Homo-oligomer: A and B are copies of this chain.
Amino acid sequence: MGKRIGKQTVSLSAPPVLRSWAAVAGKKEGEGPLRGCFDQIAEDPYFGELSWEKAESRMLRICFSLACDKAGLPPSRLDYIFSGDLLNQCISSAFAMRDTAVPYFGTYGACSTMAESLSLGAMMLDGGFASNVCAVTGSHFCSAERQYRFPLEYGGVRAPTAQWTVTGAGAVILSRGGKGPRLTHITTGAITDAGITDANNMGAAMAPAAYATLTAHFADTGRSFADYDAVFTGDLGAVGHDILQSLLEKDGFDTGVKYMDCGMLIYDRKTQGVNSGGSGCGCCASVLAGHILPAMEKGSWKRVLFAATGALMSPTSAQQGESIPSICHALVIEREE
């Protein structure tokens, strides 16, 4: 049975184990600072398929299979899959998982989907409803560009505040027992809308949501940055990172060098032409599975706060002049001694 602590946070009575994880990345991501971290780097952006959407779906399927293999669990041993993505009607997830025969919950949290899926999966496990679940998500630069912005062939110029959608996927298998880092607390975000209307500045739109969830987490748990070895946001990029940092510092939080953003870790902004940094469901998902969890296992960090961010807008809402509602879900992951 879970326990609610404060308005937005629950603590898990028998914290589920992150039993295995896998990360798949595209060529550009495979040339970035995390090049040594991914389980697979695709040379072919089409992943052997004939459309960008099918490529994204194939990437998710590959990542899912890798995570199952690493856990030594066939899909038939999974009780639930939680999956979602950025494509209209979340097709890359649905098509990727359609042959698994596993009970399926579709999630939509934009780029926060990995944290949302892990949150729901962990509560199912702790609540006694499941023994093994998988959370899987990803994004593809080319399908995202086509859907959200312009066809690639158009060669549109990107704003300096714009981010680069990560071609990448992450999958994590959570289990009730076993060895591995554990998910101990979940702080679920409410939607936050700071009134930003510039769809080329998602970092500014999402930073207030990250601020709201992090401060809620600290208030609910009585913790602060000092209690974590590292704190990650999902995909604020450099612009959003700096906004969040100054919001937190105004409140007296000492973020120090502990605070990092997955969107800044995955690319070399000086040489890779990604402007503010990475974004997309695959950004924090592949950084979690490719970088954070392996580094925890190797002993770099014992207790991590993983706060994935998402912008809940669409091209249609942007065209209608709407501001960008955002969300952030935070998870505490702790290495066993």
Contact = CB atoms under 8 A, between A and B. Distances in A.
Given A53-B317, A95-B325, A322-B95, A108 B90 contact: yes
A129 B91 CA distance: 30
A100 B191 contact: yes
A180 to B, nearest CB: 21
A188 B1 contact: no
A130 interface: yes
Nearest to A325: B98
Nearest to A76: B7
Interface string A44-63: 00000011011000000000
Contacts of A316: 53, 87-88, 91, 147
Interface string A1-12: 111100110100
A317 B56 CA distance: 12
B314 A91 contact: yes
A313 B191 contact: no
Interface in A238-258: none
Interface stretch (A27-35, A78-86, A298-306): A78-86
Contacts of A94: 191, 312-313, 325
A91 B312 contact: yes
A97 B327 CA distance: 11
B105 A120 contact: yes
Contact of A314 (B89, B119, B190): B89
Nearest to A106: B108
Interface in A91-149: 91, 94-95, 97-110, 116, 119-120, 123-124, 126-131, 147
A193 interface: yes
B91 A89 contact: no
A51 B320 contact: yes
Given A91-B314, A91-B316, A91-B317, A84 B104 contact: no
Given A87-B316, A89-B312, A106-B312, A190 B101 contact: yes
A80 B312 contact: no
Contact of A2 (B101, B106, B127): B127
Given A4-B79, A89-B312, A106-B108, 8 more contacts: A1-B127, A88-B314, A91-B313, A94-B312, A99-B193, A105-B119, A107-B108, A108-B108
A-B pairs, top 4 by smallest CB distance, nearest first, are A127-B127, A103-B188, A1-B128, A94-B312
